[in-house]
A and B are shown apart, each in its own frame.
Chain A
């Protein structure tokens, strides 16, 4: 049963049409990889799902609930958008950790602010304690237990990205999105991030990954979408799309990665 349904998303910036009618769905517990060259609209699609951009047309449903409809102004109110964003987590290419906070505070900040917003949730110190404990658990999961009190600039790129993943997971999103999570990393640091993502896939976390790591997409994804010029050109299992693509455009794109093992 699909947890995410995307119907006919259009988005243009001025005269530039970036998305020209994107529809797909994603089942709970599955990993979807979106591949395609730069400028194909992958990142814009991800930003539309997280409502950092508002699609010009189209509908986004999570668990059969409409979280965005370009025709419906009611779901586009700021407070509603903010609430609906929490269905998704987003891990950025450039980490975007909050510079002035420790690793622990980066992970707990949003949860604490949300808890402050909701009243009558029991003793605040108990809530506080639970948020902290969960953050420590996430750090352990990321292999960063010893970095709780470090500041972002003290960490390597790979460590920062793992903190960013923990930060996104702390709000327990239905769907975790990654926007080229390893593109800003030195090659020797990509492995540690990909390992964490692979573990999440093994735990049946629903994920949507925009990536240039073909080998990784082939190994981890349940479903692959190839995008080109704002359209989905081809989709299917990794074996279909990456190993034996039907479309000429997909073959052209993948030939650039053919040197990979």
Chain B
């Protein structure tokens, strides 16, 4: 009876420690997610303005960059950004160790997602009727005032569904970081699979589901908030 109890307790602590380690490693996915958003959301706006620039070389250059980034796998971009500086004898801009790998992955993710966001922004901005801008112009508003006071909120309202889509994809893409040995949740779970324990890997799905569930609720809330006007 006692022996049996001990066995259960051992299994329990085993279970607890596995779950704890999964939670910890999911922290890396979450960190990569937020760091990517933090930098790629504004960077995407600059790229969008670049691709809409009336100065043709800038527009051409930006569109080429967007084409290359959207046209190649994110996994490949992570590898290139992490390994290329070393291979080209450019020193090690990322430093060394786990934090270096994380920085490199963040860098690759930011560029990749900024390009996707830029195209969504561009579509949103170009979809706003030109009359809104002209109304601002004849009222003596500056270009910046027109953008921030008139256009921006209408753009946000328009692009929210596509942004939600892309941001939800980002949550799941974070697991690609394991290609440069970042111990995110799936890589962690695979260590158990190698030892013959399959459920930790399957359970990782629940982590992603829960996180995406929260994001979905948040986006629904935002969409509701912007329902007060039509644009």
Task: Give the B-binding residues of A (Cβ under 8 A).
Answer: 50, 52, 78, 82-83, 85-86, 88-90, 92, 94, 96-100, 109-110, 113-114, 151-153, 167-168, 171
- A85-B137, A98-B136, A99-B231 given; 14 more Cβ-contact pairs under 8 Å: A82-B137, A82-B140, A82-B141, A83-B140, A86-B140, A97-B135, A98-B132, A98-B135, A100-B154, A100-B229, A110-B139, A113-B149, A153-B230, A167-B139
Q: Which 9 A-B pairs have the closest CB atoms?
A: A110-B139, A96-B131, A96-B135, A153-B230, A99-B231, A90-B138, A100-B229, A86-B140, A100-B153
Q: How far is the CA of A178 from the CA of B140 in the complex (A)?
A: 17
Determine if A88 and B135 form an interchain contact, defined as CB atoms under 8 angstroms apart.
no
CB closest residue in chain B, given A116: B145
How many Å from the CB of A31 to the closest CB on chain B?
A: 19
Interface residues of B in 93-131 (CB under 8 A from A): 129, 131
Interface of A is mostly: mixed
- For the complex, count residues of B whose C-beta is within 8 A of A: 23
B134 at the A interface (CB under 8 A): yes
B5 within 8 A of A: no
- Note all chain A residues with C-beta closer than 8 A to B143: 78
Please name all residues of chain A whose beta carbon is closer than 8 Å to the beta carbon of B153 when the two chains form the complex: 100
Cβ contacts under 8 Å, B150 to chain A: 98
B72 on the A face (CB < 8 A)? no
With a cutoff of 8 Å between Cβ atoms, the chain B residues found around residue A86 in the complex are: 140
- When chains A and B are docked, how far (Å) is the Cα of A110 from the Cα of B139? 6
Beta-carbon contact of A110 and B229 below 8 Å: no
Cα–Cα distance between A153 and B149 once the two chains are bound (Å) = 18
